[in-house]
Amino acid sequence: MRLGLLLVLLVSMSACEPMSSATDSTTEAKAAFQAYVDAINNGDIESASVMYDVEEGFHWVERGGLQYARGEDAAESLRTLTSNGGVPRMSIDDIHAAHLSKGAALVSAHFDFSVLSDTGEERFSFDGWMTVGMAMRSGGWRIAGGQSGPGVAP
């Protein structure tokens, strides 16, 4: 009986992921998301664009509907926002992260996004909440899908 209980305990413990792995996934996913925001703010749209996963299953939801069914489409949209000489700016705060599994995490943040003219005048802006599923791929952390919605109602 004791041997059976010990075996059950060992099997269940081996199936559990160490806490440090969960912490590592959320810390790394948040850092990768911050690198995406930093790339946008540095005007490095290509580095920000490669953060969108090209694996099958990518999807992005906005305003209650599917906006992008491929990472390439989301990347092209980001490029288009700044194609006419616009200067992008994005700030994030109130960041939350949840561990999903080793190499996968959910990151949510309140964001403000704007595109400025070369002279610093705001062309347009929007804010809201963004939630992204981050996945570790062979090339590093990628945004596997996400959604954005309006900010807190006034």
What was the pLDDT predicted at 85? 79
* pLDDT tens figures, 15-42: 444 445 667 899 999 999 999 999 999 9
Domain boundaries, the chain: 19-150
Render pLDDT for 35-80 as a digit per residue (tens, 0 to 9).
999 999 999 999 999 999 999 999 999 988 999 999 999 999 999 9
Q: pLDDT band at residue 12, thresholds of 50, 70 and 90?
A: very low
Which residue would you say has higher pLDDT here, 118 or 49? Answer: 49
| Res 119: pLDDT | 86
pLDDT at position 83 over 90: no
Which of 118, 97, 119, 110 is closest to 149 using CA atoms?
110
- On whether the pTM is more than 0.75, the answer is yes
pLDDT, residue 118, reads 82
Classify domain 19-150 by CATH number: 3.10.450.50
Contacts of 67 (CB under 8 A, 6+ apart): 60, 61, 74
User: Chain-wide mean pLDDT for the chain?
Assistant: 86
